Structure 1
Amino acid sequence: MQKYLFLILAAFISLEVQAQRSIEGTVKDNRSHSPLTGAVVALRTGNNTKAVTNAKGQFKLAVPTEKTMIYISCNGYLPDSVQLNPADKTLQLTLKRDLRLKEVKQRTIMDAKGDPAPMQEIVVTGYAPMQKQAITGALAGRASGVAIRGYRTLPPNTNYNTEDYSPINENIFHTAKDQPLSTFSIDVDRASYSNVRRYLNNGNLPPADAVRVEEMINYFDYEYKNPTGKDPVAIYADMASCPWALAHQLVRIALKGKTVEKESLPASNLVFLIDVSGSMSDPNKLPLVKQALKALVAQLREEDKVAIAVYAGAAGLVLPSTSGKDKTAILDALDKLEAGGSTAGGAGILLAYKTAAENLLKNGNNRVILATDGDFNVGVSSDGDLQRIIETEREKGIFLSVLGFGMGNYKDNKLELLADKGNGNYAYIDNFEEARRTFVTEFGGTLFTVAKDVKLQIEFNPKYVKSYRLVGYENRMLNNEDFNDDKKDAGDMGAGHTVTALYEIIPAGAGNEGQPAVDPLKYQQNLPVKTFSPEALTIKLRYKDPREAKSQLLTKVLNWQIQDITQTPEDFRMAAAVAGFGLLLRNSTHKGNASYEQVLSLAQNARGTDTEGYRAEFIQLVKKAQIIH
């Protein structure tokens, strides 16, 4: 009898299996066609079968053999449904972005299981001292201003995919005879590299406009010699064959800011401006902000001061300016912060600058440190308005450093602009190791400016240089007349900072090699060139003392030389490897013969001592990109 029961049961199981089939597919953004990670594909049947897309937007789902409906949802996108036919085996699904995301009102979203999950309204009131407890909405201690009112979602677990990057139009080749000058502002930011690392570690290639080649190059430490004279910046230059175009030359221009021992650094007046809106609730946002700023607090001295301002639906001061010796009070204030509400970033910036001005140190380092994902959506939020606020405040000697956090709704373009206009640096913190590097390993370079408004102008000698192209720095280009204009803002160098710029050179006498050219100028004078001059180019640099308005001029000459890239110092080869990697990630029209194998070969032979392991990590990222591409 038991044998027959077993056979009957097996038959039922067989019928059940036969009634199910497996279907695979992808879910993508309907406009960018980028894969959506964490999208939920679900059956609204009794067993409520679901699947969640992986880093490549892929899913696999067991479905009935008959016609059925499947439902697709993803945070930041409008939900959709599709009728599945019995013959369907694969699906290519797309979702439209929900353009209402920035509205501050109650709505329904889909949670991780694909079920409706209402937003939660939170209210935080201020003025009076508050109880010593964690306060949702971010204010603890003493709040300032009107009541903060907003909305908070349940902790998100999917990618909003509303990240914004400014378009990059790559620099082209210019003829040295017709356009002998190239002028640009330096850039010590390195946010692009750590952001690219985040994409690759998540199994995706970054968007082309997220790859700023100069920031990738300048992410790495280079052993340039410290300035020895009165100037806080030293210039170095050399050249070798270009690895991705062997008929061309690659010129390296290197700058080094003077190193200042921590004990000799001026006192700091810092204001932490922390975004505690609902979009910051992810583990890689506000919790990581706390870790990063705690690492900075550990470096503070008694003469340093810290205040903490926050913003969500409105702005509030949670910690007045406090001595660096009272680390317990500072850390307690950080620990109480929680995310919730809309994002009044403009109001927060105004409050932070006001607090910094009230505690201004005449001969000290006055700086606002903004930590956010950049998603400002309440009050002053336009790029133009924020830029004007920051430009006004920097004239008072208060600089702005920007720390970007998170993914999905990350606003890279806005944060880069704010740091650029605020005479500060911009870093993307994707993990605690990056936070440690920013605030522990490079404490002085992150916070203390040794030279501001640093501009470079290179004059090329047409006797040796037919045409040239600056690799990267597209959003740092200046007009030639801006070089001598002390009113023109430019980049700043921190203590110990290095800056590297690469030019790809087509030597005089070489063919056009597919490069577009302009017609000869009818009225251009053929100026005589010194017959025996070995000078390939002249580098001019202008900088200002952080407390001065008048710039100083430095010059450096580079003579023409021929050497293979393998004969150059390790730092040169490493910079060339990173540049080639950036060209590949961007799929640049100027990538020439660049390949992942070539990049790996250069980098593996340029590791040097690599005390912190950054170059070894780079090699692993190149290997990941090679697999994904």
Structure 2
Amino acid sequence: MKNLGLILCIVLASLQINAQEKKITGIVTSASDGLPLPGANVHIKGSKQGTTTDFDGKYSITAELGDILVFKYVGFIPEKQTVGDSQIINVALKEDQNSLDEVVIVGYGTTTKRSFAGSVSVVGTPSKAQLRKQEKKRFHNKIAKQLAGKTAGVSVRGTKSVNSTNILYIVDGVPVQKSYNSLIEQIKPVAIDKVNVYKSSEAIDKFGNSAKDGCIVITTKSGNYRIQNDEDYANINENDFERTNLSPLSTFSIDVDKASYSNVRRMINNGQPIPGDAVKIEEMVNYFNYNYPQPTDEHPFSIHTEVVNTPWHNQTQLVRIGLQGKTYENEDLPTSNLTFLIDVSGSMSSQNKLPLLKSAFRLLVNQLRPKDKVSIVVYAGAAGVVLAPTSGDNKEKILAALDNLQSGGSTAGGAGINLAYKLAEKHFKKNGNNRVILATDGDFNVGASSNSDMKSLIEEKRKSGVFLSVLGFGYGNYKDSKLETLADKGNGNHAYIDNMQEAQKVFGKEFGGTLFTIAKDVKIQVEFNPKKVQAYRLIGYENRLLADEDFVDDTKDAGELGSGHTVTALYEIIPTGIDSDYLKTVPELKYTQNQAKANFEDELFTVKFRYKKPDESKSIEMVHIQNTKISDASIDMNFASAVALFGMQLRNSKYYNKTEVSKVIELAENGRGEDKEGYRAEFIRLVKSYDNLK
């Protein structure tokens, strides 16, 4: 009986403790402007339990009644809140004005202005002529920059750190545009003469209202350093309408890359202009998952088609072709032989590069199984192995190797790729998942580094049977074109990681698709019926077009499909009998007569698919026929249309028919659906933000 009573007491006590625990949610914002603070730290005082806010400043944490939650964010005054009856605790943090005391930073260390008086000159008040010259170049919007213990690559340990969320940079007399701020950290310390930091009141007196939140003046030894945006995107020539009677076949490689969407998202959030070539409409559309059915036959993917009236043009129709890759649970995936290839060069020093990279890779490491093996290769001025193949059940060792990585030096990307593939081939797992995961900003500058060099190198390496995933980080010198080439030619995929939310999507929710290829060299060829379709244009996929004869050529490389991946392609078609301004008159042919066959009256198009199994070299063909039925747009069709239309607006396409942004929002709202993860809601918010910036 005593034992029974003791057990009952323990159970009751446990129930009481559990009853006191509650899930606390809320939003952390800035008190000055009400904007959310992504990445703010929330932890329970006196414990190791904590979390960070997401992209929208939202957090969730399990706490007990009476616990004290501590909210911290760089440049803001920490705040404490006691957990009471409410399950919602919203916090507005105030900026820490004392964190912007003036500090002088020199090439060999730091000191306060008072202790270094007489030996460092402070920038004086510019003359009226200088001010007029600077005003022409100054951007009057806020220049947002987060300083977390480092400025221009110079350590500031041992003195007051400089922290602010809104800083104006002036480098050798020239104000820096917001979108170029990350490049400040690329200035080599040896090139710096001095850096003067001014708190808001003094900054306004010297440099005007643009510096009301503080100003950092950097003077280099040369005196003429210029900050330039050095991002690189492949040129895109938009697909035009093709006349069906002259060119009935449309052939292209699938593209599961999603980097363009997260990169565009980053630019919109930063309030910066979006280069047209950075907008790849197919990658924006394919960022989102759609409700396609799982395959039920021997093929690794299912096929779905839909035809509706085009929402932005009343004389055309919109075709959607969707593929759904078979989804495998993580425990069912084959053994993985993974080689992390990590760029630790000097260009990776900023917070949105190597530090973010480490946090992202932790998500991947935590999902590894005992049978999986991980190696780590790094490269800067040279390449080296920092972790020999290590089992997934020794996560502490893998994570310790990641945590110890430091940035510095030039970027020998080619040497790193060679070493990583050599290691992956040495430990190759037959019937396993052999993959190199490259994480970099793409700024290769030592050895083989051009796009053509990288293309040749990776085409040779893919013969080994090792696949490639490419993860892009950072901005200012982000080389999208190079990373796209590597992923395309390396039988892999390309993602852009702009925050931990995206890292969670790539390594968490889409773990299998990121790492496990279920079909390679997947090609699509659509033949339109000239009796029903006068002309067609493929929306996006400009960099994935293939010659018609490439479709049956098994030596031609094409895209890969991962576990659970969806692929969506959209065509805009002009029905026969429509007089369209998009089509110009074509002279009649003298020697050739194109005449549609009398039958097939009920068919709009036939789509063929070719793919190879991951370890085979001969392709398999699938065929799907679409009838002429025009249906009401499904939820997914509405949303895919919204994303495509927004992409065309961003690119200033000649085919979006001057449709307003409000139409994008309307379509997206109608296509939001269940949206469990909130990605579609985020898209709507981005569109509205972009509309307000115009």
Alpha-carbon RMSD: 3.3
SS at match of 1:229: coil
1:543 aligned residue: 611
Per the alignment, residue 288 of structure 2 pairs with 220
- Aligned 1:69-80 pairs, distance under 5 A: 71-72=173-174, 74=176
Q: CA deviation at 1:75?
A: 10
* Paired position in structure 1 for 2:416: 348
Query: 1:205 offset after TM fit, Å?
Result: 3.3
1:115 has 2:183 as partner: no
1:591 Cα shift? Answer: 1.0
Q: Distance in 2 between matches of 1:290 and 1:26?
A: 40
Residue 535 of structure 2 corresponds to which residue in structure 1? 467
1:300 partner amino acid: L
5 Å-filtered alignment, 1:20-31, equals: 25=135, 27=137
The answer for the alignment partner of 1:575 in structure 2 is 640
Given candidates 272, 276, 281, the residue that maps to 2:340 is 272
Query: What residue is the counterpart of 2:443 in the other structure?
Result: 375
The equivalent of 1:390 in structure 2 is 458
Percent sequence identity over aligned pairs: 54
Most deviating of 107-116 and 469-478? 107-116
Question: How do 1:548-567 and structure 2 match up within 5 A?
Answer: 548-563=616-631, 567=632
Distance (whole Å) between structure 2 residues aligned to residue 487 and residue 535 of structure 1: 31
* Partner residue, 1:297: 365
- How far apart, CA to CA, are the structure 2 residues paired with 1:301 and 1:404? 25
How far off is 1:323 after superposition?
0.5
Letter in 1 for 2:661: Y
Q: Deviations over 1:182-207 (max 9, x none)?
A: 00000000000000000000112311
Partner of 2:650: 585
1:402–1:418: 8 Å Cα contact kept in structure 2? Answer: yes
Deviation at 1:520, TM superposition (A): 2.5
In structure 1, C-alpha distance between the alignment counterparts of 2:490 and 2:469, rounded to whole Å: 7
Larger displacement relative to structure 2 (256-265 or 458-467): 256-265
Q: Could you say if the C-alpha distance between residues 336 and 26 of structure 1 is closer, same or farther in structure 2, counting changes exceeding 3 Å?
A: farther
Residue from 573, 580, 583 that aligns with 1:515: 583
2:349 to 236, 257, 281: 281
| Equivalent residue number for residue 194 of structure 1 | 262
1:233 deviation in Å? 1.6
User: Which of 297, 301, 312 is the aligned partner of 1:229?
Assistant: 297
Report Cα offsets for 1:34-82 as digits up to 9, x if no partner.
99987xxxxxxxxxxxxxxx99xx9799xxxxxxxx92165999xxxxx
Establish whether residue 172 from structure 1 lines up as the match of residue 249 from structure 2: no
| Distance across 2 between alignment mates of 1:114 and 1:342 | 26
Q: Give the distance between the partners of 2:483 and 2:596, measured in 1 at CA.
A: 47
SS of structure 1 residue aligned to 2:314: strand
1:529: how far off? Answer: 1.8
Cα pair 1:159 1:408 within 8 Å, conserved: no
Q: How does 1:600-611 map to 2 (within 5 A)?
A: 600-611=665-676
Q: Contact 1:76 / 1:162 at 8 angstroms: preserved in 2?
A: no
Deviation of 1:526 (Å): 3.3
Taking the aligned partners of 2:614 and 2:278, their CA distance within structure 1 comes to 30
- What SS does the corresponding residue of 1:245 show, helix, strand or coil? coil
Which one of the candidate residues 441, 462, 465 is aligned to 2:509? 441
Q: CA deviation at 1:614?
A: 0.1
The CA distance in 1 between the partners of 2:245 and 2:363, in whole Å, is 51
- AA aligned to 1:453 is D
- Deviation of residue 25 (structure 1)? 3.4
* Paired residue secondary structure (2:407): coil
Equivalents in 2 of 1:454, 1:556: separation in Å? Answer: 15
CA distance in 1, matches of 2:301, 2:227: 42
Indicate conservation of the 8 Å contact 1:183/1:483, yes or no. yes
Contact 2:473 2:498 in 1 (8 A): yes
- CA gap 1:187/1:285 in 2 versus in 1, 3 angstroms: same
Alignment CA distance shift 1:234-1:497 (3 Å): same
1:316 pairs with 384, 390, 393, which one? 384
| Secondary structure, counterpart of 1:161 in structure 2 | coil
1:517: Cα distance to partner? 4.0
Which whole-Å CA distance do the structure 1 matches of 2:665 and 2:425 have between them? 49
Aligned 8 A contact 1:226 1:257 in 2: yes
Name the amino acid aligned to 2:253. Answer: S
The CA deviation at 1:421 is 0.4
**2:169–2:176 Cα contact (<8 Å) kept:** no
Contact 2:516–2:562 (Cα < 8 Å) also in 1: yes
Q: Which amino acid aligns with 1:237?
A: T
TM-aligned CA distance change 1:118 to 1:367, over 3 Å:
farther
- The aligned residue for residue 598 of structure 1 is 663
**1:415-461 CA distances to partner (integer Å, 9 max, x unpaired)?**
11100000100000000010011001010011000000000000000
Report what 1:87 is aligned to. none
CA distance in 2, matches of 1:185, 1:574: 23
Deviation (angstroms), 1:159: 7.0
Give the AA of the match of 2:672.
R
State whether residues 36 and 159 of structure 1, in contact with CA within 8 Å, keep that contact through their aligned partners in structure 2: no
Matched, 1:628 2:690: no
Counterpart CA distance in 2 for 1:467 and 1:107 is: 58
In structure 1, what is the equivalent of residue 552 of structure 2?
484
Taking the TM superposition and a 5 Å limit, the aligned residue runs for 1:129-148 are: none
Q: Separation in 2 of the partners of 1:20 and 1:592? A: 48
Greater shift after overlay, 326-335 or 20-29?
Answer: 20-29
Change (3 A) 1:192 1:605: same
Alpha-carbon spacing, 1:590–1:389, altered in 2? closer, same or farther (3 Å): same
Amino acid at match of 1:175: R
- Alpha-carbon distance in 2 for matches of 1:383, 1:590: 31
Tell whether the 8 Å contact from 2:530 to 2:596 is kept in structure 1 after alignment. no
Q: Which runs of 5+ in 2 are unaligned?
A: 1-124, 146-164, 198-215
State TM-score, norm by structure 1: 0.78
- Tell me the SS of whatever aligns to 2:594: coil
Assess, with a 3 A threshold, how the Cα gap between structure 1 residues 26 and 320 changes in structure 2: closer, same or farther.
Answer: farther
> Partners in 1 of 2:637 and 2:617 — Cα distance?
34
Q: In structure 1, what is the equivalent of residue 493 of structure 2? A: 425
Give the alignment's TM-score, normalised by structure 2: 0.71
CA distance in 2, matches of 1:59, 1:339: 26
Is 1:497 equivalent to 2:599 in the alignment? Answer: no
Structure 2 distance, partners of 1:585, 1:76, is 20
Q: Describe the shift of the 1:60–1:540 C-alpha distance in structure 2 as closer, same or farther (beyond 3 A).
A: closer
**Shift of residue 394, structure 1, vs aligned partner:** 1.1
Tell me whether 1:208 sits opposite 2:276 in the alignment: yes
Answer yes or no: is the 8 Å Cα contact 2:383–2:419 preserved in 1: yes
Between 1 and 2, higher relative CO (CA 8 Å, sep ≥ 6) is seen in: 1
1:90 aligned residue:
none
Structure 1 residues 412 and 528: CA distance shift in structure 2, 3 A: closer
SS in 2 for 1:291: helix
- Work out the CA distance in 1 between the residues paired with 2:674 and 2:227: 38
2-structure distance, mates of 1:275, 1:171: 35
Q: Identify the residue that residue 252 of structure 2 maps to in structure 1.
A: 184
